[in-house]
Structure 1
Amino acid sequence: MTVTVRFAPSPTGRIHIGNARTALFNWLFAMNNKGRYIQRFDDTDVVRSTQEFADSILYDLHWLGIFPDVTEYQSRRSEIYEAAVERLKAARVLYACYETPEELDLRRKVRRTRGQPPVYGREALTLTPEQVAEYESDGRRPHWRFLLPNFTSDPLQPERTEVHWNDLVRGEETVDLASLSDPVLLREDGTYLYTLPSVVDDIEMGVTHVIRGDDHVTNTGVQIALFQALGAEPPVFGHHNLLTTVSGEGLSKRTGALSIESLRGDGIEPMAVASLAVLVGTSENVTAAHDLGELAGHFDPAATSKSAAKFDPDELFVLNRALMHHMPFEEARDRLIVLGISGDRAEPFWLAVRGNLDRLSDAVAWWRILSDGPQEAAEFSGEDRDFLHQAFDLLPEEPWNGTVWKDWTGKIREATGRKGKPLFMPLRLALTGRSSGPELADLLPLMGREGTLARRP
């Protein structure tokens, strides 16, 4: 059996870090099990779903390093769902209901006042042919509910019926079908709700493992019953904890909260996003993995906590800096060229500045300083200005090598008696215009003697 997983978002907005968590859990699980990854778009909501959003989701996933084995769209598979509907109707487990939303809401309120759970009471099963004909003549169109197998002989007398499964993440789980309403699978207008196409596709596509957020735990009991009603063996389920903001709020595609697009625009590296999305809320230490293969080695669904994980964007910058500080030039080269950083100095420049970068794009400012001098002239006291005049008079002649900074500051120390911060800070400000940054021992050979003298106050 080939392990087969799927990531099935609705293309109704840009995906956020929480959606990426689900996609990455599936991708890494497939990677660790030499399996297949299906990208499926649950786009049966024809009003809100768009190809533009589907394309943007694929782009975001590719940026993260996820490349599906196959991409499917539910909107192109309606004939398969129609066939499943007919099978369920023939088995008498899909039945027509004519209640309006207002009538259903009133019934729920009545049940609550009686101390009963606000589930659907299956009143539609008691309709006579005459009543159905009257509804039809009034222009009502039915929605269709799946009859949950939570009774012995009389569906109007539901009884506790437990569905059990061994969850990949949460361990043993149980859902009582008697606590749930029969789910609507088909709307009045003939469109499908999430449940039916999802189950039918999982069967047709040979999905062996369904890994998703724990907001679907209750749905799983219903879906297992539907798999069985369609004569299929349910897949293995795993429900990971959800990500929230630091304040505990849920993430939403509609608001664009922490979207992959916005994180990419902020200059965050894909592996910083992937590492935090996967490892936060697990027993693993949150560290920056270099690639998805390395991250897969730290991935274990069972190591995920059952409680929600708070996602702090500030942690992304910590991971981003770690990736910057160790990124080899070969990995950065093409991106640096796009930023205008190229030539013989590009590699030693990158090795000199990467330890001071939060984002790769931050290298541009240092390249300008290296090439053109400080962007803003520093202010010096009269004493420091005299010191700098004397220091620049001591600048060694070329050729320069890696020891020029040490040689120069040694001469300055001997001539002026300055050492430590009083010696180094005025030099740093004069050379770079900044009070901190890359090692001047690495930058000075790249500036050259002429470029260094040009910075003399």
Structure 2
Amino acid sequence: MAPVLRFAPSPTGLIHIGNARTALLNALVARREGGIFVLRFDDTDAERSRTEYAEQTEADLAWLGIRPNLVVRQSERMELYAEASERLKAAGRLYSCYETAEELDRRRRIQLARGQPPIYDRAALSLTDEDRRALEEQGRRPHWRFRLEPRVAGWEDRVRGPSHVDCASLSDPVLVREDGTYLYTLPSVVDDIALGITDVVRGEDHVTNTGVQIQLFEALGARPPAFGHHNLLTTMSGEGLSKRSGALSLRQLAEDGYEPLAVAALAVLVGSSEAVRPVADLDELASLVDLAHISRGPAKFDESELDALNARFVHAMPYETARPRLEDLHIGGGEEFWNAVRANLSRFGDALRWWGIVEGPVSPQIEDPALIAAALRLLPPEPWDATTWKSWTDAVRAETGLKGRALFLPLRLALTGLDHGPELAALLPLIGPERAKARLAGEVA
């Protein structure tokens, strides 16, 4: 059976590279195995969810090359959750509670002071109908907890191997708030059932949730999917990534000029047994995904590693791939220009700077007037090609006796205004005789 996987972000902020790790792992497994990838927006929190964040998430995934087979929004599926909650109430697995947050906090503090685990004591189960009526007459409205069976929930985790959660050590989770809105757990399980999700691949911060959700799947008469909990991306200092901070958001990485495949490769391969390296496309990246080879330790995101990986992508980019992007930036010079400059680019947009060096205006730096005067006099006639630089510098060397850095650096400074850059053998024909003469004469050109 073809697998069905999903990425389920809450549209409450910009997704970051850590979220991309989860999205890509799911999308690439589905891609490799001929399955279905679902984008599900967990937008039941009406106060914090924003349409613009959902739209940006879809745009960010498209930038990475991910296009879901199906997009659903939990805000449009409330009837399913209401029907499921009524089934759970009828089965005695969802029960009403009336404690306030202050009362629950006080009980937890008492439990801790007595050396007891701070889990809910199920006091609400002893309430009579008369007790409930009296509480509601006081203006209280119930929240609803899922009654866990006191047993171990086990599963074969696709990342972590044999895993289990002792549900006897957990509080019965609240599934429905006092205002009738749903917390994450119930809609997530109901949708996984309704959408036929076969595999749930998510961050390791959800491991404890899995014990609860396995019982909830079973209470609703469904077989739980396979679970896999991958390590999380952190900053180099070990801090978690957050949508609220906006740090390392995909939108910002795109605006900063990173290649989407570089971002995808780092997000997927870091913290695994596979070396972080360039890939030709998402199909190649999908072939490298092995959930069982993901490390158990945190995966640290190093922006300098992304810079280096991005540069490797650009350096290896063939002209046919670069051509339409160069045209969009109004960069000329064709394949000769691209081959001349690509090894000097960290990001594709840096090509604009080198095209500016070719076209000008450039302010030449004349450090050795005598050398530059000889070089100007010995400029070879047209046409210029890849051999022009050597024949020219050979002639200048023969006349001046200068060689190496003493010869080449003053010429570079005069021709480009910079002390570094692409090989001048490739750049000189693009600069051309007229601009070269003007710059060697000290003119801005």
**Is residue 196 of structure 2 the alignment partner of residue 206 of structure 1?**
yes
Aligned partners of 2:204 and 2:232 also within 8 Å = yes
Runs of 4+ in 1 over 4 A off after TM superposition: none
Q: Deviations over 1:51-94 (max 9, x none)?
A: 11100000000001110001000000001111101111111100
Alpha-carbon separation, structure 2, partners of 1:334 and 1:138:
69
Alpha-carbon separation, structure 2, partners of 1:351 and 1:80:
58
Residue 306 of structure 2 aligns to a residue whose secondary structure is helix
Equivalent position of 1:5 in the other structure: 5
Alpha-carbon separation, structure 2, partners of 1:297 and 1:208:
20
Q: Deviations over 1:245-269 (max 9, x none)?
A: 1111111000101111111111111
Alpha-carbon separation, structure 2, partners of 1:326 and 1:452:
29
Equivalent position of 1:351 in the other structure: 339
1:113 Cα deviation after fit: 1.2
Q: Where do 5+ consecutive residues of structure 1 fail to align?
A: 151-160
Aligned partners of 1:16 and 1:260 also within 8 Å = yes
Equivalent position of 2:85 in the other structure: 85
Deviates further, 444-453 or 307-316: 444-453
Alpha-carbon separation, structure 2, partners of 1:205 and 1:400:
65
Q: Deviations over 1:29-52 (max 9, x none)?
A: 111211110000000000000111
Q: Deviations over 1:185-235 (max 9, x none)?
A: 100000000000000000000000000000000000000000000000000
Aligned counterpart in structure 2 of residue 228 of structure 1, from 194, 218, 221: 218
Equivalent position of 1:441 in the other structure: 425
Equivalent position of 1:120 in the other structure: 120
1:266-285 maps to which residues of 2 (within 5 A)?
266-285=256-275
Aligned-partner residue type, residue 397 of structure 1: P
Aligned counterpart in structure 1 of residue 277 of structure 2, from 287, 302, 305: 287
Alpha-carbon separation, structure 1, partners of 2:61 and 2:258:
15
Equivalent position of 1:377 in the other structure: 364
Alpha-carbon separation, structure 2, partners of 1:372 and 1:128:
86
Aligned partners of 2:372 and 2:411 also within 8 Å = yes
Equivalent position of 1:364 in the other structure: 352
Aligned-partner residue type, residue 326 of structure 1: A
- Percent same amino acid at aligned positions? 59
Residue 49 of structure 2 aligns to a residue whose secondary structure is coil
Equivalent position of 2:370 in the other structure: 386
Alpha-carbon separation, structure 2, partners of 1:253 and 1:447:
46
Alpha-carbon separation, structure 2, partners of 1:14 and 1:8:
14
Aligned length: 441
Normalised by the length of structure 1, the TM-score is: 0.95
1:334 Cα deviation after fit: 2.0
1:130-149 maps to which residues of 2 (within 5 A)?
130-149=130-149
Aligned partners of 1:373 and 1:455 also within 8 Å = no
Equivalent position of 2:230 in the other structure: 240
Aligned-partner residue type, residue 244 of structure 1: T
Alpha-carbon separation, structure 2, partners of 1:190 and 1:303:
42
Residue 206 of structure 1 aligns to a residue whose secondary structure is coil
Alpha-carbon separation, structure 2, partners of 1:443 and 1:309:
41
Aligned partners of 1:22 and 1:211 also within 8 Å = yes
Aligned counterpart in structure 2 of residue 427 of structure 1, from 380, 403, 411: 411
Q: Where do 5+ consecutive residues of structure 2 fail to align?
A: none
Alpha-carbon separation, structure 1, partners of 2:147 and 2:349:
57
Structure 1 residues 421 and 373: CA distance shift in structure 2, 3 A? farther
1:290 Cα deviation after fit: 2.7
1:2-41 maps to which residues of 2 (within 5 A)?
2-41=2-41
Alpha-carbon separation, structure 1, partners of 2:337 and 2:267:
32
Aligned partners of 2:366 and 2:372 also within 8 Å = no
Equivalent position of 1:44 in the other structure: 44
Equivalent position of 2:174 in the other structure: 184
Aligned partners of 2:366 and 2:414 also within 8 Å = no
1:144 Cα deviation after fit: 0.4
Alpha-carbon separation, structure 2, partners of 1:284 and 1:147:
42
1:272 Cα deviation after fit: 1.2
1:373 Cα deviation after fit: 4.3
1:70-81 maps to which residues of 2 (within 5 A)?
70-81=70-81
Aligned partners of 1:373 and 1:432 also within 8 Å = no
Aligned partners of 1:108 and 1:118 also within 8 Å = yes
Alpha-carbon separation, structure 2, partners of 1:103 and 1:138:
15
1:377 Cα deviation after fit: 3.1
Residue 439 of structure 2 aligns to a residue whose secondary structure is coil
Aligned partners of 1:373 and 1:431 also within 8 Å = no
Aligned partners of 2:364 and 2:415 also within 8 Å = no
Residue 335 of structure 2 aligns to a residue whose secondary structure is helix
Alpha-carbon separation, structure 2, partners of 1:18 and 1:372:
42
Alpha-carbon separation, structure 2, partners of 1:180 and 1:257:
33
Aligned-partner residue type, residue 59 of structure 2: Y
Aligned partners of 2:389 and 2:425 also within 8 Å = yes
Equivalent position of 1:405 in the other structure: 389
Alpha-carbon separation, structure 2, partners of 1:399 and 1:8:
60
Deviates further, 234-243 or 122-131: 122-131
